[in-house]
Amino acid sequence: MCRWFAYISPEEPCLLADVLINPANAISKQCSEHYLPKLLPHGEEHELDDSKDALLKMRNSLLNMDGLGVAFYTSAAESYVKGVEGTRPALYKSQSPPISDFNFRNLCSNTETNCLFAHIRATSGSVVTQVNSHPFVFGRHVFMHNGAISNFNDVRRDMTDLLSYDAYCNVLGSTDSEHAAALYMTNLTQGGKKDTWEKEYPVTEMFKALNKTIVQIMELQQKHLGDKKAPNSLNFCATDGKKMVATRFRNHASQQPPSLYWSEFAGRTLNQKFPGSPDGADVVNESASKADGEKIGKHTIIASEPTTYDDQEWHLIGANCALQVDEKGTETEVPLEYDSKFNAQDPNFPG
């Protein structure tokens, strides 16, 4: 499946290279290598091939080579464009593998931001093209997804009927994920026009819009497929540059959703200004300019996989839960609300 990484802080910017390229398990290397603490023990004696969980093996055996995307917030437009206040997302997408993309590497080495989305794609069936790569931008809002809407072609037409006109027009590709993004924006703005995409909304409203989006998808599947419906994997993430909400969801009675972790500490380990290294306690960071006792600003990282060696820095988000991060950087994990009648059986992995 896909992999994504998100960073947000009210006060501490990150260098893109520090979080996306330099670590041994940076997202740019997760095209083929994976680290899943609390889901899969890490070490030579506990490799992916040794797992008894067939679904876990299937998800993490795929190569994430079908597209790269990065959205980072910058205040540049505020200085030049009348009526723009605050930061807005700049977007970079590529079909090249991230580790060999010269432009991506150069951009990351020279860009800092307080809010960042990065995504590497493993297609679930739609065409491999830049426009289908995540993240997806709607004004000041950005959305990305790991997983799949099952039987998407069966619900796609009715799903577009739920979209506001402007949200529908902003869908440039063919993925289930971009349609989910447009449905989220329709719910967040209550069917508003494009100008409502420039507004900020409370983090609780962002959560409600994501939760509603998940329920609407399952309602359409129930309508069209009944008992033949299959479970979805809906690890969504949405931000406006100041707040963030992420979901870890699968509508199955026992199967785990795709991996999703968060950390309030790893940003210091990843930031080369501070002593320490993301790759091990014995690795010397010769670039450090800060003293051991200096503290880093409040920040939150949400990612498909931990990007530092110390798994104690990371929390696994609970199954069918969401993590909310408000404008002060306060993290709150809350359960997603849905009727268990929408749970589905997996035809590929029965039981």
pLDDT digits (tens, 9 = 90+) for 111-135: 999 999 999 976 666 677 788 999 9
Helix, strand and coil in the chain, % to nearest 5:
30, 20, 50
Q: Which residue has the higher pLDDT, 7 or 36?
A: 7
d(CA 130, CA 292): 42
Calculate what percentage of the chain has a pLDDT beyond 70: 87
Q: Which amino acid is at 19?
A: V
Query: What value, to the nearest 5°, has the Cα angle with vertex 135 and ends 312 and 234?
Result: 65
The pLDDT value given to residue 45:
34
The two three-digit tokens of residue 278, written as one number? 């993301």
The pLDDT value given to residue 2:
85
- The model carries a pTM of 0.91
Going by pLDDT thresholds of 50, 70 and 90, the confidence category of residue 30 is confident
pLDDT greater than 50 at residue 202: yes
Average pLDDT over residues 237-243: 98
The two three-digit tokens of residue 210, written as one number? 């994501």
pLDDT digits (tens, 9 = 90+) for 257-288: 999 999 999 999 999 999 999 999 999 999 99
CB neighbour class for 51 (10 Å; exposed up to 12, middle 13-18, buried from 19): middle
The pLDDT value given to residue 110:
97
Residue written as token pair 């798994």: 311
Strand order in the sheet with 300-303: 88-94, 68-74, 115-120, 3-8, 300-303, 261-263, 315-316
pLDDT digits (tens, 9 = 90+) for 319-344: 999 999 999 999 999 999 999 999 99
The two three-digit tokens of residue 78, written as one number? 């505020």
pLDDT greater than 90 at residue 29: no
The pLDDT value given to residue 81:
95
Across 141-145, 289-293, 295-299, least confident range: 289-293
The pLDDT value given to residue 99:
79
pLDDT greater than 50 at residue 42: no
Average pLDDT over residues 166-177: 96
Pick from 20, 144, 135, 140: which is nearest to 89 by CA? 140
**Of all helices (H) and strands (E), which one includes residue 215?**
helix 203-225
pLDDT digits (tens, 9 = 90+) for 146-167: 999 999 999 999 999 999 999 9
The pLDDT value given to residue 49:
53
Pick from 107, 79, 111, 112: which is nearest to 93 by CA? 107
The pLDDT value given to residue 55:
53
103 CB neighbour count, 10 Å cutoff: 10
